[in-house]
Amino acid sequence: MPPLDDVLLVTLPVLLAAFVLLDRHLVRACSLFVLFALAVALTWWKLGFLWLAMLETLLGAALTGGFLFHALGVGLAGRAPTARLAHARDPVPLIWRRGLVHLLPVLALLGMLAAALGSLPASDGSLAARWSGLVLIGLGLWAFALHTHLLRRLLAFNITGTGIFLLLMSLVGKTAPAAGQGLVITGLVVALLGTALGALLVRRLGALVPSREPASASDGQAS
């Protein structure tokens, strides 16, 4: 396998995840998330887990993406009338100092994980997946702690989950593939259901309390 493929497959999800989590424009972030899920599906396929690749495409990219867009009020037939209630931009800007403070507990957790993983040898093929899994977990948790917008937290949750799946399958590898896939498939379904529930909630909350949405009625989409 040419190393370029490998490097690309590891860096692509991580880069896309970083863009998803840092983009304040929510529709763009959700579109990027769909791309991210497709890139992860490609990684699964490359690692030889065909089932997971298919499920990731179906559950992760198509359905989760659909629910995220639904939360924003963006449908196939254009924007729903309630779309004005869901902000297209996260009104809270990123404050770097706050970001750094939130990074510390995440780094502590990653250090703990790395200490534990140190005693588990990795085969060559799975080392890359393990690293991208760890980075995704770190990125996702950091964003989850940092952002207050519900939709961005759902995105962060999904990315952390994906990181855990990658780490899990890289650890399990060939020893107990059935058990690992069972866990990942359950996890994928749970992530989808959780996102669906969260998206419906975002929508309902937006419809119930237009005035008390994070203060930004002036943010372009004023009602």
Residue 209 sits at the vertex; the CA angle it makes with 204 and 210, to the nearest 5 degrees, is 105
Which run of H or of E encompasses 171?
helix 150-172
Asked if 102 touches another protein (CB under 8 A), the answer is no
Asked if 69 touches another protein (CB under 8 A), the answer is no
Phi, psi of 89 (to 5 degrees): -125, 145
Asked if 60 touches another protein (CB under 8 A), the answer is no
Q: Which of residues 183-202 bind another protein (CB under 8 A)?
A: 183, 186-187, 190-191, 193-194, 197-198, 201-202
DSSP sequence for 64-128? IHHHHHHHHTEETTEE-GGGGGS-SB-SSPPPHHHHHHHHHHHHHHHHHHHHHHHTS---HHHHH
What is the amino acid identity at position 199?
A: A
Q: In the bound complex, what is the minimum distance in angstroms from residue 97's beta carbon to another protein?
A: 24
Residue in 65, 66, 138, 180 binding another protein, rule: CB under 8 A:
180
Asked if 222 touches another protein (CB under 8 A), the answer is no
- Contact positions toward another protein, by CB under 8 A? 112-113, 115-120, 137, 144, 150, 153, 157, 160-161, 164, 167-168, 171-172, 175-180, 182-183, 186-187, 190-191, 193-194, 197-198, 201-202, 204-205, 208-209
